[in-house]
Chains A and B, each alone.
Chain A
Amino acid sequence: MALITCRNLSLAYEGKTIVTDINFSIGEGDYLCIVGENGSGKSTLMRTLLGLKSPFSGEITFGTGLNKNKIGYLPQQTEVQRDFPASVKEIVMSGCLASSGFHPFYNKEQKKRAQENMEKLGISDIQNRCYRELSGGQQQRVLLARALCSASKLLILDEPAAGLDPVVTAEMYSIIEKLNKKDKITVIMVSHDIAQAVKYATHILHISEKPLFSGKTEDYLLSDACSLFNGEGKN
């Protein structure tokens, strides 16, 4: 059963079409990595999946039981957050808002969920620390815990390793892998790091002006699109 299916999707940025004819579907438990060069439309595709942007043409269908409020999202850090006075707990709790409906305050069940997710990511001991004083890796874990509070089925991650050093990057990828394998959370990740993508992902979507490849990782490694991208990367 596919969670998300895209048919003949075209995306535009500021009125200009950037990518056409995207076709792919993602099933439960998959780990899809969307790769492509800068400006190829990866982020636009992701924002469209999240409903932050409407598609230029084509359609996106969500599987049963999945709607906008059930998607966990790990955005890239913004300038605003760098000196934001907020405790780890406050930020993680804000992920629970998606399930709040019209209730103004958090209930016990939501507080419990926040605690569980902080434990899962090993940040419960720093829950009263200030977000802006944490290291980059810790900050990413906080935002990942927040994403987990908003959804337990599907995570959409935007360059989760951006700006992290190699050790912390590896740690981040292994956390994501664990969430995918152990907790059976479907993962869609946007990345330009092709080496890491093929290492962890089960499926690859490679987009450029048009989609170059969409399918399983093992097939991707044999495809023209992969060698093209790697060749360019080495130059």
Chain B
Amino acid sequence: MNIIETVSNYLSYDFVKYALIAGVLVSLCSALLGVNLVLKRYSMIGDGLSHVAFGATAIAAVLNAAPMYFALPVTVIAAILLLRMGKNTKIQGDAATAMISVGALALGYMLMNIFSTNANVSGDVCTTLFGSTSILTLSKTDVYMCLALAAVVIVCYVVFYNRLFSVTFDESFATATGTNAAVYNLALAIITAVVIVLAMNIVGALLVSALIIFPALSAMRIFKSFKSVVISSAIIAVVCSLSGIFASMIFDTPVGATIVAADAIVFGVFCIAGKIKK
């Protein structure tokens, strides 16, 4: 009884409804992109980009600019650069990603310390990294942005589904038969960057890549066709973010971390189920 009361009490607030809508939509988009990113061995790019987004948010704070409008273009540019570097043989793709990732993290933390406007610097850093409160401070505009983004991602994903499959499974074959793989890779990187910047508000910069990789990895333990993996990871993402947000209300835990914990539990269950099935 107590639990139901707590939840319904929370649900009477607008900001909680916003958090639920945005959380579910962003997790859904991340999971869809995640399937392709994980299979293309691009998971680390998602991680790298989230750190870049953290650095960019810190710079935006120093410049007194709105974090979203500054972090978004910077992260998109970083996504394009990372993709280019993956092809460069001089610095290997994974090393380049790690380099940009820690570089941005260090720069962001340094800037936040030097130009801090708030006495509680570590609190600020913690919020940006782990998104402890920001999901509860979403405005109506943020929610509309999430809605628009989710619509764009889902429509694109459905329309280009067959081509995305082909490019992910075999880039050289796709290119040789007239699909412009480079354009799809670029589009994938840019959309990933946008999703990461939005998702950062919800789970924080450090945990963003969990939303991207966990549902896809879980789904791959059990499902054996591409279509079933895509559909099930979307479902896993929605279920985990909903249960994560509710659990955080009931147990009074940080929202982002709870969503990721839910994802991790599902992954564990699916791992065991996959083993048993074999």
Contacts and interface: CB of A to CB of B under 8 A. Distances in A.
B125 to A, nearest CB: 37
Interface of A: 14, 47, 50-52, 68-69, 71-73, 75, 78-81, 83-87, 90-91, 93-95, 97-98, 100, 104-106, 128-130, 133, 146-147, 150-151, 156
A51 B176 CA distance: 7
A73 B162 contact: no
Interface residues of B, number: 32
A107 to B, nearest CB: 12
- B163, B220, B225: most-surrounded residue (chain A CB, <10 A): B225
B232 to A, nearest CB: 10
B170 A97 contact: no
Given A80-B40, A98-B177, A98-B178, A105 B169 contact: no
B172 A80 contact: no
B176 A80 contact: no
Interface of B: 39-41, 89, 158-163, 165-166, 168-170, 172-179, 219-220, 223-229
Contacts, number: 99
Interface centre among A14, A71, A84, A95 (most CB of B within 10 A): A84
Given A91-B169, A104-B160, A85 B220 contact: yes
B177 A86 contact: no
A75 B172 contact: yes
Chain A facing B: main interface SS:
mixed
Contacts of A95: 173, 177
A104 B161 contact: yes
B163 A97 contact: yes
B224 A87 contact: yes
B262 to A, nearest CB: 22
B41 A97 contact: no
Contact of A130 (B159, B166, B174, B225): B225
Contact of B39 (A52, A75, A80, A91): A80
Contacts of A91: 169
